[in-house]
Amino acid sequence: MKKQLLTLLFSACLINAYAEDGSRLWLRADTTAQATVTANRQSPVIAVAVKELQTQWRGAPVQLLIAGTKAAQTLGSDGYTIAGNPQTGVTLTAAAEQGLLYGAYHLLRLQETGALAGNINITEKPGYERRILNHWDNLDRSIERGYAGRSLWEWEKLPDTLSPRYREYARANASIGINGSVLNNVNANPQILSGEYLAKVKAIADVFRPYGIKVYLSVNFASPKTLGGLPDADPLNREVIQWWKNKVKEIYALIPDFGGFLVKANSEGQSGPQDYGRTHADGANMLADALKPYKGIVMWRAFVYSPTSEDRAKQAYQEFVPLDGQFRDNVIIQIKNGPVDFQPREPFSPLFGALQHTQEMIEFQITQEYLGFSNHLVYLAPLFKETLDSDTYAGGQGATVAKITNGALRPAKVTAIAGVANTGDSVNWCGHHFAQANWYAFGRLAWNSELSAEQIAEEWLKMTFTADENFVRPAADLMLASREACVNYMMPLGLHHIFSFNAHYGPQPWGYFPGGRMDWMPVYYHKADSAGVGFDRSKTGSNAVSQYFQPLGDLYGDIDRCPENLLLWFHHAAWTHKMKSGNSLWDELCYRYDSGVRQARDLQKAWDRLERHIDAERFDQVQAKLQIQAKDAVWWKDACLLYFQTFSKMPIPYEIERPVHRLDDLYKVWFRQEDVLNNNYCIK
């Protein structure tokens, strides 16, 4: 009896050790293999590649080769070739150690997704040179717009104590080709550049290095003044210039492969060169000159706007186009995918392509600030693809955002892409099991923007849950439908930024607070009145359409030809405006919101049908989140339709589900971000 009890306890420990809690992400492959792997060079990076293959590869021997051939050199430091047959032997060739690492992970991905069949002949190189996660993590371990617990970086324990999660994080990123990490918030605390914190940053960089990941830091432009004690931070002040040169030298003495700086300047209260009558180019170039000897770069954010009478969506273009060609060649302008702020749907930013003599990079948001936090299942690859595949018409047809930014059309010394991270110290990393897919999708598209959202979803599902096609196909369909469902129940037809003012969660289209900035108020963006709804950005309005190349300017500016999914972004349309469906705008808005509710419920139904295919722990956790999402969808529908009905004075079509909330009650809903994360907010 005692022996049986011990056996049961041992078995329970094993089950617990491999509990499907999401902590292993998409790296759940069995690691008991004993593959034969050889390499013609040795280094910490190659050692990682060898170990990954030795413990997971279930095929014939693998040979890793650093080659100096012309063919290998054309693939750059990260590219690789894989040739051979899983049954007889495979050779992985690259010009540099990073290429072997990425090739090893790709070979294992092919194995785990069942994509290996017969002879292999693969050549790959990344579309972007620098593929970076931006962490909005603060030194107190809070995360701005973070929905998965506290920061991964245990600053209070560094540099002496290293969390095992640092290596796990680096491994996960390397497996999808991410090669850079900005460790701290763009609203940067100057203390990150102090000697105390640079020692902590060095400790993290040392863990990341064998996985091919460089660290970057967000810097506060006022650091020479607030940290260095100088009277100002004027970028043309010789003392300021020297302070930055000394600080950069200090950083590279500790971290020889440091990547560079990310800067948010003169935006939302952050200090910048305009404080001293200087330009963004003056500020960026001063930092670039300090980094240049070490091959570091400056990523200067284009997210700048001020409380003026001008349309917020136009301001980044107005700030940066006059400076085109004035930036150093190690400066790259980091541009959000849309012209406002990571909305569920936006047109692409008109800055893409407009800066014809300045390097541009795209910034996506992986964390779901405006997409239901970690409560809603919203697969973002379709959103990422929508932007990357958009044709800017800069110089003619075919100039997609991807080709503008990855160097395919305009040679660039630096190409880069960034995603605002959604990781935290929660067990499953992202707060929602399916939010992991957005981290994965960003990495895969940063490597190859031509991959389809469907292909990426299927890869992730097979590695994260099971390769059983009875699960993968319907689960992929669920993921692919989720983004459009979210748009429909939140902000269809081009509506935008009508969230709760304080938390950016839940509807608050009536939001207006006397004394606050108008461009932070929902009413600023929808402009509903008795005549209609929407922001007029046509020639008769703010004329934001003029910032787009033709034929897009005319297309967006014509209310009868504008894509209906962007109609209210570009036009203040009458409630009676006739839509392509034959419905009035009001009826179409009602039907879209109702469709979003039904789609959210369909996500629930689709998931419930998959219960028998996966572990109970993750099934139950996702199911609970989908219940919240379906409830929230009804909240969105009722709040928006009841509120906009006070302007349209038109009835909600009878075939649509009746509202279950009263508008007066919804006006009273008020909560904080932490209330949402703890599920303590109440909708009467």
Active-site positions read 268, 341, 369
Which among 273, 356, 266 is positioned nearest to 316, based on CA atoms? Answer: 266
Beta bridge partner(s), residue 93: 65, 81
Helices 585-608, 616-648: crossing angle, 10 deg rounding: 170
**What ranges in 292-435 are assigned the alpha helix state H?**
315-320, 381-388, 401-405
15: number of Cβ within 10 Å: 10
* Joined tokens for residue 128: 């972007």
Q: DSSP string of 70-110?
A: HHHHTTTTT-EEEEEETTTEEEEEESSHHHHHHHHHHHHHH
In angstroms, the CA 575 to CA 580 distance is 14
In angstroms, the CA 668 to CA 661 distance is 12
49: number of Cβ within 10 Å: 30
Answer whether 430's CB lies under 8 Å from 677's CB. Answer: no
Beta bridge partner(s), residue 80: 124
Angle, CA 360 vertex, CA 177 and CA 136 arms, to 5°: 60
Q: Which run of H or E residues covers position 204?
A: helix 195-208
In angstroms, the CA 167 to CA 85 distance is 31
Answer whether 389's CB lies under 8 Å from 401's CB. Answer: yes
Which among 260, 256, 158, 250 is positioned nearest to 219, based on CA atoms? Answer: 260
In angstroms, the CA 523 to CA 529 distance is 10
